[in-house]
Structure 1
Amino acid sequence: MRIVSLVPSATELLFALGLDSEVIAVTHECDHPPAALALPKVTRDALPSGLTAGQIDAAVRARTEQGEAIYELDAAALHELQPDLIVTQALCAVCAVSVEDVRAVAEQIDSRPRVISLDPRTLGEVLGDVRTLAEATGRRDAGVDLIADAAARIDRVRLAVRDRPPLKVAALEWLEPVYVAGHWTPQLIEYAGGIDLLGMAGEHSERRAWEEVAAAAPDVVVVMPCGYDAPRALEEAHRFGDRLAGLGAGEVVAVDASAYFSRPGPRLVDGLELMAHILHPEAVPEAPSAPLTVEL
């Protein structure tokens, strides 16, 4: 099977299912696993490089209001590749090429590829997408194993923090302006022994005012700008150090959102383990990556 992935989380999932030899092209943002970096790219960013977080937000708003995507699809390359399957998503207009554009191009390709759109809003739906993609690619047994392993790891974390007093958490997915994380992140926080003060599981991320975040009185603030790694998240946190200090939290940390929270793929379970380590390090002493403490 010849597979093209148009979303990083799908690329990670395809590789986790053992389909690396069948993935023939990915997006310009597919950076995990490292082998994906060597594959042909069939998308490009429509936004200029070097923008600040505020400029990115303004540019995204302007393009989406005009019905324009922020990613461009290389239709000519897709025609040359003649894929059998294209995997994309419609959950977030900021995260991938428009699914309508993908379907329109697919209809013109001689191989008539099947288009699967993975659009999970919760952790359970992410695991459901594992089953969907595994069945579509003939990797049912690998999908069963992947889900079983994820479920076991989730259960271990929940058991480890079960008797710990829950901490109040504010998960900030963007700082200019402030967005609180939604979708699966509130679930990860709950399973990790916390209470998400502002986000709603299964719902879109929401824009809030700094004053609203402060009024919620978080114990812990997790800075997780969507698509940023930990050093970039820490840089953003320092830019807004005064605002973060004004929230009155006992701890502020920056994390690699791109790896562990933004993408609805296999590494969300790593994100759960990281979140549990942040909130209850005595119960979960090991984490896939060390959070960066924000000194305020």
Structure 2
Amino acid sequence: MRIVSLLPSATEALFALGLGDRLVAVTHECDHPPAAAALPVATRPSLRLEAEDSGGIEMAVSLAATEGRSLYQIDIDAIRALQPDLVVAQDVCRVCAVSAAEVAEDLEGIRMLRQHPHSLEDVLGDIERLAVACGRDATPLLGRLRVRLDAASQTARRLPRVRGVFLEWLDPPYPAGHWTPDLLALAGVDDPLARPGLPSVAGSWAEVAASRPEVLILAPCGFNRDRAAAEAARLRTQIDSVGAARVVVLDGSAYFNRPGPRLVDSLEVLVASR
């Protein structure tokens, strides 16, 4: 079987399922596991945002959306030339990864698996559906992931619950949405701004402060820990205005933003940060 993954989390899941050798192309964002970075790349970004802070990125992305421009350039001819048996794409967020809607018509005739998880259980279900589509049994992998989820949540239950706010973007602040509230609940973090199963939406620092969190967790989408820490330093005045006793900066790109196997690592990171 020949597979093209247009979704970093699906790439991670395929490797975790032992199907990494079936991948014939991935996206420019597929960087885990390291072997994924050696695969042919079928996409590139339309915007150069590496030097922008979160406010600049928000403005650029909003302008592109207003003008109807895609954030990704997709080499459809290269994908067709690879003659894949399966293309994996997503319908959750047009910003975070290539949208299935962008390629469905151009790749008509090629089998496409569209993933659209909104909860932690949806993510695990998508891993199973991906395995089925590839003729692989997901039971061993899912069993290991559930054992780790249970162990981390058991550890969290031995600790006092804490009132916290998790932000997946900083300028403006976006509270946790989709699957992240499930992780917070399992980790013993009560987040009054979280939107379980729903997209994250822009809020204000005044709203964050009004929620009176004991801990403020920062894991901006697509930012590694160093870049997130630099952004937190830039927004120190706003963060200090929240009045949280603790501020925790985490690697959103590696963990929380990608609905794949490493969401289990994300829970373990959350519990360890308690």
- What TM-score results when the alignment is normalised by the length of structure 2? 0.97
Q: Is 2:219 the counterpart of 1:224?
A: yes
CA-CA distance at 1:63 after TM superposition: 1.5
Aligned residue for 1:209?
204
Alignment of 1:1-296 (within 5 A): 1-49=1-49, 50-107=51-108, 112-140=109-137, 143-279=138-274
Aligned residue for 1:285?
none
CA shift digits 1:105-140 (9 cap, x unpaired): 212xxxx32101111010000000011001000111
Q: Distance in 1 between matches of 2:245 and 2:48?
A: 37
Name the structure, 1 or 2, with higher relative contact order (CA <8 Å, separation 6+): 2
In the alignment, structure 1 segments of 5+ residues that lack a partner are 280-296
Q: Distance in 1 between matches of 2:67 and 2:100?
A: 17
**Does the CA contact (< 8 Å) of 1:199 and 1:206 recur in 2?**
no
Q: Distance in 1 between matches of 2:133 and 2:243?
A: 49
CA-CA distance at 1:25 after TM superposition: 0.5
Determine helix, strand or coil for the equivalent of 2:242. coil
CA-CA distance at 1:68 after TM superposition: 2.2
In the alignment, structure 2 segments of 5+ residues that lack a partner are none
CA-CA distance at 1:86 after TM superposition: 0.3
**Does the CA contact (< 8 Å) of 2:53 and 2:231 recur in 1?**
no
CA-CA distance at 1:30 after TM superposition: 0.5
Q: Which amino acid aligns with 1:84?
A: D
Determine helix, strand or coil for the equivalent of 1:161. helix
Q: Which amino acid aligns with 1:226?
A: C
- What TM-score results when the alignment is normalised by the length of structure 1? 0.90
Q: Distance in 2 between matches of 1:79 and 1:154?
A: 39
**Does the CA contact (< 8 Å) of 2:174 and 2:203 recur in 1?**
yes
Number of positions where the alignment pairs a residue of Structure 1 with one of Structure 2:
273
CA-CA distance at 1:48 after TM superposition: 2.0
Determine helix, strand or coil for the equivalent of 1:172. strand
Runs (4+) of structure 1 exceeding 4 A deviation are none
**What RMSD in Å do the two structures reach over aligned CA positions?**
1.1
CA-CA distance at 1:52 after TM superposition: 2.4
Matched residues, percent identical? Answer: 47
